[in-house]
C-alpha cells in the first residue's frame, strides 16, 4: 500500500488530495473548519491497507489553493461540489463519507446532491440550517463559538481554536495549529454568513430524515460546541445502530483524542455499510 499525494484541478481551484492505492471500498474523510486532511492520520494508519482512503484539503485550507472567487467557493454547498469533483476525477463510483464538524455538514450536502454516497458518518456535526434561527438553535452560545466565523486570527486565536476543536485534554499539535493559521479567514467568515443568512444549501434536518441509507453519529461525550441531546432528539431516518455512539472523556474530535476506540466503531460501520456491502 502506498499513500499518494496529488493536486486535482476543480472548478473551485487546485485541491490537495491524499489517497491510498488499494483496491478496497472507497472512504472519503472531510476535515472541519480551519483544519486540514492530516487531522485524520490515525485513521489513515488504521484503514489505508483495507480501504481506498481519499482525503482532501478544502479550498482555502491546508495545501489547497485559496478561492479565486471566495463568495462562490466558501460555502457548504460549494465544498460538497468540490468533494464530488475530486471523487469523479479519481473515478470513484461508490463511497462512504466520514465528515468531521464542517466536514459533516458537507457530507449532508453531498448525500442530497449525489447517489454515489452509500453511507455517511458524522462527528462533531449538529445537522441544522440553513438560516440564522435554525443554526443558532443547534450550537451552544459559548465564547469559543465566536472563532467559527472570525476572519482574522491572532496567534493566540489559532492556538485557542485548535485547543477547543482537537480537545481540551488532547496534546498540543503544532502542525494543526499551523493549519488554523494558514486557513484563509474569508473561508470562515463567508461560510458562516452564507449558512446563517440561508442563501443556499439543503435543509439538513429534512435530508437526514428522508435519506434511506445508513448514517452513523459518533460523538465525543464532552462535545464543546453543542449539546449531544440536540442530535439525540433529531429524526434520522436510518440511524446506524439506532443510537448515538458516545466516546467518553473526549470532545469535538474523538477520532483524534481516542483513535483506537473511535476506529473500532468506524470499522464496524464500514464493514456493515461500506460500498462493498451495499446492494
DSSP state of 172: P
129: left (phi over 0), alpha (psi -120 to 50) or beta: left
For residues 149-176, average pLDDT: 91
**How far is residue 263's CA from residue 134's CA, in Å, rounded to a whole number?**
31
The pLDDT-based confidence of 276 (bands split at 50, 70, 90) is low
In the β-sheet with 13-20, what is the strand arrangement from edge to edge? 3-10, 13-20, 52-56, 26-30, 95-100, 117-123, 215-220, 245-247
- In the numeric block, which cell numbers belong to residue 154? 491572532
Alpha-carbon radius of gyration of the chain = 17
For residues 65-69, average pLDDT: 97
Question: Which residue carries 454568513 as its cell?
Answer: 193
pLDDT in tens, 38-53: 999 999 999 999 999 9
* Mean residue pLDDT across the chain: 95
**Could you please report the per-residue DSSP string of 36-98?**
-GGGGHHHHHHHTTTSEEEEEPPTTSTTSPPPSSHHHHSSHHHHHHHHHHHHHHTT-SSEEEE
For residues 16-27, average pLDDT: 95
Domains of the chain as residue ranges with CATH: 3-277 (3.40.50.1820)
pLDDT in tens, 183-225: 999 999 999 999 999 878 999 999 999 999 999 999 999 999 9
Q: What residues pair up with 219 in beta bridges, in sequence order?
A: 246
**How far is residue 106's CA from residue 115's CA, in Å, rounded to a whole number?**
15
Cβ contact 15:86 at 8 Å: yes
Q: Report phi then psi at 140, rounded to 5.
A: -80, 125
Peptide bond into 130 cis (omega under 30): yes
Amino acid at each position: 500500500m502506498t499513500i499518494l499525494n496529488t493536486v486535482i484541478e476543480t472548478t473551485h481551484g487546485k485541491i490537495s488530495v491524499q489517497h491510498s492505492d488499494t483496491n478496497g471500498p472507497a472512504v472519503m474523510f472531510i476535515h472541519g473548519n480551519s483544519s486540514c486532511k492530516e487531522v485524520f492520520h490515525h485513521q489513515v494508519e488504521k484503514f489505508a491497507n483495507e480501504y481506498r482512503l481519499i482525503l482532501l484539503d478544502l479550498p482555502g485550507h491546508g495545501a489547497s489553493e485559496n478561492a479565486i472567487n471566495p463568495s462562490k467557493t466558501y460555502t457548504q454547498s460549494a465544498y460538497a461540489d468540490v468533494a464530488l469533483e475530486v471523487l469523479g476525477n479519481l473515478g470513484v463510483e461508490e463511497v462512504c463519507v466520514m465528515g468531521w464538524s464542517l466536514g459533516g455538514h458537507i457530507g449532508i450536502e453531498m448525500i442530497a446532491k449525489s447517489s454515489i454516497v452509500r453511507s455517511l458518518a458524522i462527528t462533531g456535526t449538529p445537522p441544522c440550517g440553513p438560516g440564522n434561527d435554525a443554526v443558532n438553535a443547534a450550537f451552544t452560545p459559548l465564547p469559543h463559538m465566536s472563532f467559527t466565523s472570525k476572519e482574522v486570527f491572532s496567534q493566540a486565536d489559532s492556538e485557542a481554536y485548535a485547543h477547543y476543536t482537537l480537545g481540551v485534554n488532547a496534546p498540543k499539535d503544532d502542525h494543526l495549529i499551523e493549519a488554523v493559521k494558514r486557513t484563509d479567514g474569508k473561508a470562515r467568515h463567508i461560510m458562516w454568513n452564507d449558512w446563517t443568512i440561508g442563501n443556499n444549501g439543503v435543509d439538513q434536518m429534512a435530508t437526514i430524515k428522508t435519506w434511506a441509507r445508513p448514517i452513523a453519529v459518533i460523538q465525543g461525550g464532552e462535545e464543546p460546541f453543542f449539546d449531544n441531546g440536540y442530535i439525540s432528539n433529531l429524526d434520522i431516518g436510518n440511524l446506524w445502530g439506532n443510537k448515538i455512539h458516545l466516546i467518553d472523556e473526549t470532545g469535538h474530535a474523538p477520532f483524534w483524542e481516542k483513535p483506537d476506540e473511535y476506529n473500532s466503531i468506524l470499522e464496524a460501520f464500514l464493514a456493515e455499510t461500506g460500498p462493498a456491502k451495499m446492494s
